[in-house]
Structure formats: C-alpha cells, structure tokens
Amino acid sequence: MYYDFGSFIRTCFLIEIGLTPKVFMQHHFGPIVFREECLFKKEIKFGDKVVVNASLQKSRSDYSRWTIVHEILINDGILAATLTIDGAWMDTATRKLYQPEQFVIDAFDKVPRHEGFVFEEKK
C-alpha cells in the first residue's frame, strides 16, 4: 500500500499542475519511473489517518529527469515511511526519453520543493 499511496499522490499532483492524462495523450508523452525505494518506519493499520506529502528533491533544470520524495504520515504526523522515486518523461510514440516542452517546465516549476532541493545537470 505504501507504493500505491505514492503513485496516487503523484497522479493527483500532476493533474493539479495541469499535466493530465489528456495532455499526455495529446502530446504523446508520460512519466516513467527508473527507481522506487521505500524506507518503512511504522506499520499502517486499518483506521489510521494517512497523509502523504510529495516534493521535488532534485531535478535537471529542464525537468527531463527528477527525484520525488513522498513522506507518508499517520495519525498526528508520525512518519510511517519515506518513498523516493527517480523518474523522467518518455515519448509514447518513439518509446524514448522525452525532452520536456516549455509547458511541462512551467508546470513542474509549481511542484513543491523538498528541503535541500537542488538542480543537477548531466555528468
């Protein structure tokens, strides 16, 4: 369920910043996940109140690749898990990495930043 919570929240915030399934279909691209890792701290039990915060930890300046951190909190803000994903964009027609257009860059500028956020460039 921890991974499902992260996926649901990512989908919600993409929609909130204007990157909807319709936009992905119109422009023939979408998000992909290279790595997904969860550090489990506390068990989530039936009836627990769950809050998930997602923020951008690092990214290339053009948002072609990015890392998102999800903090999964239960009840009164107790950290249950930290989920981290590394992602990018894929062109759904060519099945290759996608270079984001300006509207994607503008949208991703709205994503909350994690403490210590950095832009990283290719090495």
* Phi, psi of 24, deg, nearest 5: -60, -45
- For position 123, what pLDDT does the model report? 65
- Which neighbouring-strand residues pair with 54? 70
What CATH fold (topology level) applies to the domain 2-113?
Answer: Thiol Ester Dehydrase; Chain A (3.10.129)
Digit-by-digit pLDDT tens for the chain (123 residues) are: 899 999 999 999 999 999 999 999 999 999 999 999 999 999 999 999 999 999 999 999 999 999 999 999 999 899 999 999 999 999 999 999 999 999 999 999 999 999 999 999 876
DSSP string, 105-117: HHHHTTSPEEEEE
